[in-house]
A and B are shown apart, each in its own frame.
Chain A
């Protein structure tokens, strides 16, 4: 199938700003699904609220655009009730880790086979550039006019600690890697987390004088390095990208099927 077979063309051009990284994530996601050759009817995309969450409306899957932060909780209901469906949850950094932080860690802990794609642009875009839990200290935002003093989460470390069995990071610059990682994440039998470092030129870039989309993407190339590279030894500040965790552990829905077998035999 062609790229346009996966999208709802009548809603294009999309609502994101020029140069928004979320469009590149949409692009990479389509490539990943295209390579997998899955039927659109087998995929449910569940999203919350924010710029990133609007991605679901553009995709021609079963799409569930829910409330702020709770996408993974809705997705858990979809997945557990019909485990044969592939459930993909695109989220923003605020959506996933601020208001939705509790659902994020618990979905990871359960190891339910859902793919969480955290589109990390370090800002609340839709409401106009307020700082998020990923903004980081020293940055500016419309609610941090003097400088942000909030420390930020490390999405990868958090997902690992919470028990996610597939954890990866990539960027909107590294589009081949992004498509490959998303594909592996969807195939993974367990909770998978893909952090995609994404650019918000409109708010984060402008507020923090990081230039436009092009400059922000060049920067992502400069500040990241593949996992285990020599460059990381020389410069520990570099952010690693690639697959950090890929473990084979009992998946929640499979485990629940065993509970059903026990209950049906024993009740």
Chain B
């Protein structure tokens, strides 16, 4: 059987990935440049018996998917810049109440309304720290449509595995660009479905008591186990508590369940890194230009390679260190003022060897931009 091939926008590749992963419920609010995701899902979801709703605002969309997730469904919302800011409180609720859900942020220029139709990668730190309080969560990204598809599937898998919100941090270029997508056959990419409790009716069920492997089996709302879900610090039954031991234990659990699995969650791609003395680190659409310049400089015999990050949070510091620590030059290519660059600097021994190659003017960073910055860094002039 031939695989289905489509020539589509990245936003639609995300839709294909979500449906492949088993998406059943979407709530959203129109915003550029992510709107195509909701437009496509408004057509596709009811056609498979799923539910789509355009809510009254961004906050409501985030809240609605949490409610739907608790009835046992795989859920998604999609937004951009200002909408992502508005979702932060409810996103923190999903962290605290351990609700599996996926949030797409197709990044545009900020702050505030910024440049709605132009590209940026300025929400990396917001994805990690946008909601208040100590916490951890997962953020994935992609540079091409095949990876948008794969990372979207992976986002759902991670959300179910760790009972956590997962953020898909795409950008305007990837979202709107059209390219080829081969849709994998069913079963080709493994799908993680919800882990439901085996505890029988009448037996005390603990929604917030992790098993030995750290996972927390769920029980759908409407089922035989009635329990409480709250954004307050809670005990293993989900009831509020201000006991210092419980506060400490819950916070540790919420952070550790992600951070202790950082190596499992870390996804990345390497290009020509075996002998590279100059290592570009990039992600999202910027990685396309980075790969282009790496290939062209390799042809000229330069020892240059690319580390493309697909997991941004938890930050894959070990991976960065492994590939960048011995390089004479590590150059982080991103369309912001150095948000990933800061993280790379903390991961290596010689932070003075880490440089930033960026653009922050809403224009897509080109291979020539990177080449010019590389010449400056290496003292060769422009």
A residues near B (Cβ < 8 Å) are: 11, 40-42, 44, 46, 56-57, 60-67, 70, 73-82, 84-85, 102-103, 106, 256, 259-260, 262-264, 267
Partner of B239, one of A11, A62, A78: A11
Chain A residues within 8 Å of B232, by CB:
65
B residues near A (Cβ < 8 Å) are: 24-25, 27, 43-44, 46-49, 51, 53, 55-57, 59-61, 63-73, 75, 89-90, 93, 220-224, 226-232, 239-240
Bound Cα distance A115, B228 (Å): 19
Given A63-B226, A70-B60, A81-B51, 11 other A-B contacts at CB below 8 A? A65-B240, A67-B231, A74-B67, A77-B65, A78-B71, A81-B68, A102-B56, A102-B60, A106-B56, A106-B60, A264-B47
Chain B residues within 8 Å of A102, by CB:
56-57, 60
Partner of B67, one of A46, A84, A267: A46
Chain B residues within 8 Å of A57, by CB:
228, 230, 239-240
Query: Which of A46, A57, A63, A70 has the most chain B CB atoms closer than 10 A to its own CB?
Result: A70
A73 pairs with B55, CB closer than 8 A: yes
Chain A residues within 8 Å of B66, by CB:
66, 74, 77
B67 pairs with A64, CB closer than 8 A: yes
Chain B residues within 8 Å of A56, by CB:
228
Partner of B60, one of A41, A64, A73: A73
Chain B residues within 8 Å of A41, by CB:
222-224, 226
Quick one: closest A residue to B230, CB to CB? Answer: A65
Bound Cα distance A90, B53 (Å): 23
A67 pairs with B67, CB closer than 8 A: no
Chain B residues within 8 Å of A46, by CB:
67
Partner of B49, one of A62, A84, A264: A264
Partner of B59, one of A11, A73, A76, A79: A73
Chain A residues within 8 Å of B230, by CB:
57, 65-66
Nearest CB of chain B from residue A265's CB, rounded to whole Å = 9
Bound Cα distance A64, B227 (Å): 9
Partner of B222, one of A44, A106, A259: A44
Given contacts A57-B230, A78-B68, A260-B49, contact A44 B60 (CB under 8 A): no
Partner of A62, one of B24, B44, B57, B226: B226
Bound Cα distance A84, B71 (Å): 11
Quick one: closest A residue to B90, CB to CB? Answer: A67
Given contacts A57-B239, A102-B57, A106-B60, contact A64 B70 (CB under 8 A): yes
Quick one: closest B residue to A74, CB to CB? Answer: B67
Query: Which of B43, B46, B61, B68 has the most chain A CB atoms closer than 10 A to its own CB?
Result: B46
Name 23 interchain pairs, CB-CB below 8 A, sorted by A. Answer: A41-B226, A57-B239, A64-B228, A65-B230, A65-B231, A67-B63, A67-B89, A70-B63, A73-B56, A73-B63, A77-B27, A78-B70, A80-B64, A81-B25, A81-B51, A81-B67, A81-B71, A85-B221, A102-B57, A103-B56, A106-B55, A106-B56, A256-B46
Partner of A82, one of B63, B71, B93, B226: B71
Chain A residues within 8 Å of B222, by CB:
41-42, 44, 62, 82, 84-85
Bound Cα distance A66, B240 (Å): 12
Chain B residues within 8 Å of A82, by CB:
71-72, 220-222
Bound Cα distance A78, B73 (Å): 10
Bound Cα distance A256, B228 (Å): 29
Chain A residues within 8 Å of B63, by CB:
66-67, 70, 73-74, 76-77
Chain B residues within 8 Å of A256, by CB:
46, 51, 53
Given contacts A70-B90, A106-B56, contact A81 B73 (CB under 8 A): yes
A70 pairs with B51, CB closer than 8 A: no
Nearest CB of chain A from residue B286's CB, rounded to whole Å = 35
Chain B residues within 8 Å of A70, by CB:
59-60, 63, 90
Bound Cα distance A75, B221 (Å): 12
Chain A residues within 8 Å of B64, by CB:
73-74, 76-77, 80
Nearest CB of chain A from residue B202's CB, rounded to whole Å = 12
Quick one: closest B residue to A71, CB to CB? Answer: B63
A66 pairs with B93, CB closer than 8 A: yes
Chain B residues within 8 Å of A76, by CB:
27, 53, 55, 60, 63-64, 67
Chain A residues within 8 Å of B239, by CB:
11, 57
Chain A residues within 8 Å of B59, by CB:
70, 73
Bound Cα distance A49, B231 (Å): 10
A80 pairs with B226, CB closer than 8 A: no
Nearest CB of chain A from residue B27's CB, rounded to whole Å = 6
Bound Cα distance A79, B63 (Å): 12
Bound Cα distance A262, B45 (Å): 12
